[in-house]
Structure 1
Amino acid sequence: MTLQWTAVAFFLYAEIGVNVILCVPFLSAQRWRSVFNWRIWSWLSPYWNKCFFTMIMVLIVLFLDAVREVHKYSGPEPMQDAKVNPNVYDHVHMKLFRAQRNLYISGFSLFLWLIMRRVVTLLNQVAVTLENNAGVQAQMDSALKAAQQHQEDNLTLKQALLEGDKSMSATKQQMKLEVEKLAGQLKAAEDAVRRSHAEVEAMRRQAKGLAQEYDRLLREHHQLQAPDAAHSFIL
């Protein structure tokens, strides 16, 4: 195996290892996101796209070269020469085997390189989605708590209003009884005042009658004293 295909083979093994590690089930997407947020990745991020597309171009070139080699050694001309010379037959098959091996190595390297980038992107998206879901869940929990608190406040207010209505109705009933009691007392006082006025009027009429009677008696007294005085003057 030449140096370039040895490097591609090691690159393929590295890709397999990285993809296996990325697909480990007990490493969550949030943990991978924290790993991807290391400072070294931010330092390498300006070169990442260039490196990615460069590797794609290199792997595509190697893949096309492997396809060309497979097509070259699987054609009719090498097989005709191999039938004539048995040593050439073994050499052609060895070349064809190497070309197919290189084709598989470059093809799987290209495929896993694309898969690895896609897996990293999906892990980041899943981590962001989980963080957003956690934020939305926290907002929903706070909104639910606020709604429950609002409902409890409404129940407390309704109970307070019911108690206020009950106390107000009791107060109204008590005030109504007090008003009725005061109205009865006022009526009794008015009756007492009317009776007092009637008694005063009767006493006034009686006093007036007594005064008239006194005046009459006084006049009769003067009339009775007048003849006695005249008789004593004559004597």
Structure 2
Amino acid sequence: MSLVWTLIAAFLYTEIVVVLLLVLPLASPRSWNRFFKSKFLAMLAQQAHIYFFLIMGVLVLFLLEAIREMRKYSVNEHTGDVHLNVEMQHSMRLFRAQRNFYISGFSIFLVLVIRRLVTLICAQANLLAQSEASMKQAQSATAAARSLLEDKKTEKAKEADEDQTLNELNQLRERVQQLTADLNREKKDKEAVKSQAESLNREYDRLTEEYSKLQKQITIGGSNSKDD
């Protein structure tokens, strides 16, 4: 087997392993979807169609080459005088051509299978995510409906309590008005006491001034009598 066909065979074995990994329940569709959307594969996905068509083109070329060799060695052009060794070489080349045909054909087939499996796994992961979101919405809607029913049941009790609450509010309002009136009276009394204190202070200042004047007069009169 030449180097090229060895590489193609290795590529085929790799495809078989990848198909087994995708088919066997080794990981959930979400895990595969996260793996397919990883940064490294996302960088490759930008040019995935180029790689896909390139690989398919190479494999198709080798498939056509294998078909050509099969047709070439399938035609029996030998006569009875051909040596047995030549016939064995002819059969060996035909076998190689058939082997290369199967290798390239299965490689092309598995490339298509892998691409389809990846698409289906991603679609399944998206459907699972959508179904979970729908279930959460349904659960939230059910919870909302239950809360509405409970609210309707409690509305009657609330309506019965509203009258009592209104009465209590009216009583509180009356109490607030009464306290407000008392506060206003206290403010007025405080202002009156303050004005009285201010008037007393002014009267005290006036009397203090008069006392100072009288004391000065007495002091001046005493000094004059001493001089006489």
TM-score using structure 2 length: 0.66
SS at 1:76 equivalent:
coil
RMSD: 2.0
Ranked by relative contact order (alpha carbons within 8 Å, sequence separation 6 or more), the top structure is 2
Distance 1:143 1:81 in 2: 85
1:50 aligns with: 50
2:182 aligns with: none
Change (3 A) 1:45 1:84: same
Distance 1:82 1:88 in 2: 12
1:5 aligns with: 5
1:156 aligns with: 154
Distance 2:103 2:60 in 1: 11
Higher Cα Rg, which structure: 1
**Structure 1 runs of 4+ with >4 Å offset:** none
Structure 2: which 5+ runs fail to align? 161-228
Distance 1:16 1:114 in 2: 12
1:116 aligns with: 114
Matches within 5 A, 1:12-27: 12-27=12-27
Distance 2:110 2:79 in 1: 38
Change (3 A) 1:146 1:85: same
User: Which residue of the other structure, out of 84, 87, 98, is the alignment partner of 2:85?
Assistant: 87
Change (3 A) 1:121 1:83: farther
Q: CA deviation at 1:25?
A: 0.5
Identity %: 41
SS at 2:46 equivalent:
helix
Structure 2 counterpart of 1:72, one-letter code: K
1:41 aligns with: 41
1:127 aligns with: 125
Structure 1: which 5+ runs fail to align? 165-235
> How many pairs does the alignment contain?
161
Kept in 2, the 8 Å contact 1:81–1:88? The answer is: no
2:143 aligns with: 145
1:182 aligns with: none
Kept in 2, the 8 Å contact 1:63–1:103? The answer is: yes
